[in-house]
Structure 1
Amino acid sequence: MLPTTTARVSGVTSDAANHRIAQRIEESVRYHAAHPERIGKRLRDLDAEWDIERTLAANAATLALTGTLLGAFVNKRWLALPAVVTGFLLQHAVQGWCPPLQIFRSRGVRTASEIDQERYALKVLRGDFARDGAEPSTAAEHAEAALRAVRA
């Protein structure tokens, strides 16, 4: 059975890389709970952040184009590069895994869902969504409430 779209990348990523990415999200939310005046800038940064799909697509396109040009103008053997790259891209589309994925994930490149998790937690902190129940009294409680809201 094929993995779901939202779980296919994290499912083939090492536990250590997934943990570092989750920690980064939690640290950002906790930091911004204590510094709410910086949330707007962080949200703009998140809008500009490349997710793993965009990163892999740009990487594959660059390698395929390079291989095609080298194959056309230098040596036809270079045409093997775009063939291999497109095969890996197909493998990623189906299984969620390809060789560069581990490199990018270990460097902290996140999925769109992971970026959205941080984005929505920050929006909760900023008060973009209605809250029910008692208002958190400390920045730490505020951060925990925001993280719970986006994990539900």
Structure 2
Amino acid sequence: MESWNQTSADVVRSHAASGVNKRIDERVERCVRYMAQQDRKEISPYLNKLEREWDVGRAAMVVGSVATVVGLWWGRRPGSRWRVLSGVAAGLMLQQGVFGFGPLAELVRAVGGVRTRREIDLEKFALKALRGDFERIPKNDGGPLARANAALVAAQS
């Protein structure tokens, strides 16, 4: 199941290493396949968890803010070079805000596997399809793998 995630409009995804994208896609596929084998009532708590999941933009802003505060705190003495960290972090956050991607996003995505909002939403819609919120997904035809594939494709449309 390699071609279901066609999120070409996702700027962070398009700038990320293909290995990172593949790892994230495989994690989503495993989850959807697992949920396809569970009762419908098991899906709702996981959907609630996805609602609270941080996306890569939010995580990058937090990392940048922490680096800025740390640089200011450690650089409070005259002549300290730690203030440079604050300036660099602020510049990286500006880049993230203006362009929607940057080294901070790449860092939290590569290290933490943090997903974009679009990727999180794709998983949510696939799980909602499995739960029966949409009509396109076969109820019992083809087994859990066929249902998982149909849910991932439906989430894209």
TM range (shorter): 0.7 to 0.9
* C-alpha distance 58-136 of structure 1, shift in aligned 2 (>3 A): same
Q: Which runs of 5 or more residues in structure 1 are unaligned?
A: 1-5
Instruction: Give the aligned partner of residue 54 of structure 2.
Output: 50
Query: 2:15 & 2:27 partners in 1: Cα distance?
Result: 19
Question: Is 1:140 equivalent to 2:145 in the alignment?
Answer: yes
* C-alpha distance 133-124 of structure 1, shift in aligned 2 (>3 A): closer
* C-alpha distance 133-140 of structure 1, shift in aligned 2 (>3 A): closer
* C-alpha distance 38-134 of structure 1, shift in aligned 2 (>3 A): closer
Q: Which aligned pairs between 1:107-126 and structure 2 lie closer than 5 A?
A: 107-126=112-131
Q: Deviations over 1:96-142 (max 9, x none)?
A: 4433333321231100110110011001111122x148645111121
Structure with the higher helix share, 1 or 2: 1
Query: Are the equivalent residues in 2 in contact too, given 1:60–1:85 (CA < 8 A)?
Result: yes
Q: TM (normalized to structure 2)? A: 0.82
Q: Deviations over 1:20-50 (max 9, x none)?
A: 1111111111110001342122112212211
Query: 1:104 & 1:94 partners in 2: Cα distance?
Result: 18
* 3-state secondary structure, aligned to 2:115: coil
Amino acid at match of 1:142: R
Instruction: Give the aligned partner of residue 93 of structure 1.
Output: 97
Amino acid at match of 1:66: V
**Following TM superposition, by how much is the alpha carbon of 1:75 offset from its aligned partner in structure 2, in angstroms?**
4.8
Instruction: Give the aligned partner of residue 25 of structure 1.
Output: 28
Query: 1:78 & 1:148 partners in 2: Cα distance?
Result: 48
Percent pairwise identity: 35
Instruction: Give the aligned partner of residue 16 of structure 1.
Output: 19
Query: Are the equivalent residues in 2 in contact too, given 1:12–1:96 (CA < 8 A)?
Result: no
Structure 1 window deviating more from structure 2 (37-46 vs 88-97): it is: 88-97
Query: Are the equivalent residues in 2 in contact too, given 1:63–1:85 (CA < 8 A)?
Result: yes
Q: Which runs of 5 or more residues in structure 2 are unaligned?
A: 1-8
Question: Is 1:68 equivalent to 2:72 in the alignment?
Answer: yes
* 3-state secondary structure, aligned to 2:54: coil
Instruction: Give the aligned partner of residue 6 of structure 2.
Output: none
Question: What RMSD, in angstroms, separates the aligned Cα atoms of the two structures?
Answer: 2.2
